[in-house]
Amino acid sequence: MKLSIRHRMAALVVVSLLVAPLVISKVAKSAQAADGPTAENVMAAEEDLARAMRENDPDGIARWLSDDWAVISGKGGVGEGKSIFPDGIRQSYLTRKTFEISEPRVRLYGNVALVTTKVNTSGMFGGKPFDVVERQTDVWVWKDGGWKCVLTHETLEK
Amino acid sequence: MRSHVHSKMLVVLVVPILALVPISASARDGKPEAGPTAENAMAAEEELARAFRNNDADAISNLLDSSWAVITANGDVAEGPSIFPEGIKIGYRTLKTFDMSEPRVRLYGNVALITIKLDLAGVFGGKPFDVLERETDTWVWKDGGWKCVLTHESFVKHS
């Protein structure tokens, strides 16, 4: 009986030692927010925003945008408010077929990150097809343990 | 003798008090004391615009950070604060007009975003140009002043 308790305790210790690093590693990986602002986690945010754009996912887009977000469009217009793209998608005014980002340039200034990418995007806008290459800068601000995009400035490439 | 000592002491007391007056005045006027504000970020933007308008290479350099880059209106990326100043110095780029309007200013702690509409004309590589742009300058507050770290330009097109 005494031996059995010892065995049980030893088994418990061994199992704990084996499992604990796996659990800790998983938690650390998912909780990037705990790391504070880094070039890596802002690029992860940029990629997830690109995925949401590519998949025409209005909620996925809205989640990344700050309430005071604005866009400078490729034609130089200024659009204010985070609902512009999500509403356009819901009303089928904007439907993307592609949204691929490349050549990222990432700069971190404290709680603010600038991410400039080359964007190949195509789809339908207002009933008309489009297929363009843009250079885009997203300005991200670290708020409440996560990134929010506050400005998107687009330029059409020639 | 005693009266002489009194006079000396009076001078010793009064002079430091007088010295405080200009210090206090300069602290009130000096923008760095205020910390980052939308107002002094816009003042820096206007100073940069004036430097561009006057083709003043040194004044432009003073306002750009060593990490500065420009996304040109054609979508190219050019790195380094010497690009515009050198273009001016060698006569490759000469501006005649640099008029800004419709400023949109947002402050996020030590970072300011300023988007403006820009009426721009001059000579570039021997060819005249006259364009309308929308430009965002990102400013970072460093050592008591603003430095521009990124300029992103787009042409304004009317469809």
What confidence tens digit (pLDDT) does each residue in B8-44 have?
Answer: 544 444 444 444 444 444 344 445 568 999 999 999 9
Q: A137–B109: do the CB atoms touch at under 8 Å?
A: no
Domain ranges of chain A: 1-30, 34-156
Distance from CA of B78 to the nearest CA of A (A): 11
| Chain B interface mutation, best of A112, A116, A120, A144, highest count of B Cβ atoms under 10 Å | A112
Tokens of A42: 């802002």
Q: What is the pLDDT of residue B34?
A: 84
* Each residue's pLDDT tens digit, A36-70: 999 999 999 999 999 999 999 999 999 999 999 99
* pLDDT one-digit tens code per residue, B54-98: 999 999 999 999 999 999 999 999 999 999 999 999 999 999 999
Cβ contacts of B108 on chain A, cutoff 8 Å: 111-112, 141, 150
Q: ∠ at Cα B21 (B19, B24), nearest 5°? A: 115
Query: Measured between beta carbons, which residues in chain A are less than 8 angstroms from residue B111?
Result: 109-112, 141
- The values of phi and psi at residue B138, to 5°, are -105, 125
ipTM for the whole complex: 0.80
Q: How many contacts, defined by CB atoms under 8 Å, are there between A and B?
A: 103
CB–CB contact B67 A107 (8 Å): yes
pTM of the model: 0.80
CB-based burial, B131-153: b 16+ in 10 Å, e otherwise:
ebbbbbbbbbbeeeebbbbbbbb
Task: Tokens 């700050």: give the residue.
Answer: A66
CATH classification of A34-156 is 3.90.1300.10, yes or no? no
Any chain B CB within 8 A of the CB of A47? no
What's the CA gap between A9 and A4, in Å, rounded?
9
Nearest residue to A115 (alpha-carbon basis) of A50, A19, A70, A28: A50
